[in-house]
Amino acid sequence: MSNSPLEVHMFPCLEDNYCYLLHDEDTGATAVIDTPDVPAIEQALKSRGWQLTHILNTHHHWDHAGGNLELKQKTGCTIVGPKAEKDRIPGIDIAVGDGDSFDLGQHTAQVFDTPGHTSGHIVYHFEKDGVAFVGDTLFSMGCGRLFEGTPEQMWHSLSKLLVWPDNTLLYCAHEYTLSNARFAASIDPGNTQLAARIEEVERLRANRQATIPTTVGLEKKTNPFLRPDDPGIRKLLAMPDANDTAVFAEIRRRKDSF
């Protein structure tokens, strides 16, 4: 049983990525979620006085696994990543998938397969700590492009996240919130909670402040990709009797050309 909370240190890197260091004070175990920018990760570790012990990869894209080998060579860290992409993740040591768990010191992450953005994407849910690292599966008011998966797969993946407690903090990999918000307004114009949230997002971004983390509860109220059952959205799309997957697919199609 852990005596100290899981520390999360978030920092921006590259053009619009966020990177996260996770630290268990009791054991010194320290993980980075994905490896988009080695110098930025090294600077963050130095600033906190932490030693990297693990890399937790969500998927194989270069801005998520591109720094794996350099960091492994420098630190000897253990690389954890998705079973379904183990041949595409550089330096992977431990392959995990749906139903598996991983212990970072005294903190346990449950692993969920969330194919859609890529065929083997996974997310890490530290349930007792109330935090989850969702990579490019879910964004604030958005979701990942379907590069390797189908709308059916992605809707099934997102549905796994919807059952988590509403106060779960969601840490995604990119600052896409403002553009996602503008699209959300076009799909869900009657949503007063969305309108209020957009005002807050515009204020934060005008001051160059992060809009991440978000929460499950907030996303359920304002993220159109999680609301295919909403009557207002269905009316706007002229899909009142379609199933949720079909509505989700149309929302994703419209976002791709927005």
- Active-site position among 37, 63, 113, 129: 63
User: From the candidates 24, 34, 136, 188, which is the catalytic residue?
Assistant: 136
- Kindly name the residue from 54, 60, 61, 107 that is annotated as catalytic: 61
Catalytic member of 54, 64, 107, 125? 64
| Residue 188 annotated among the catalytic residues of the structure | no
Q: Is 100 one of the catalytic residues?
A: no
Distance CA 165, CA 100 (A): 20
Taking alpha carbons only, the member of 84, 173, 88 closest to residue 132 is 173
Active-site residue, 174 included? yes
Is 60 a catalytic site residue?
no
Q: Is 117 a catalytic residue?
A: yes
64 belongs to the catalytic site: yes
Residues 91 and 79 sit within 8 Å (Cβ to Cβ)? yes
59 is a catalytic site residue: yes
Catalytic (active-site) positions: 59, 61, 63-64, 117, 136, 174
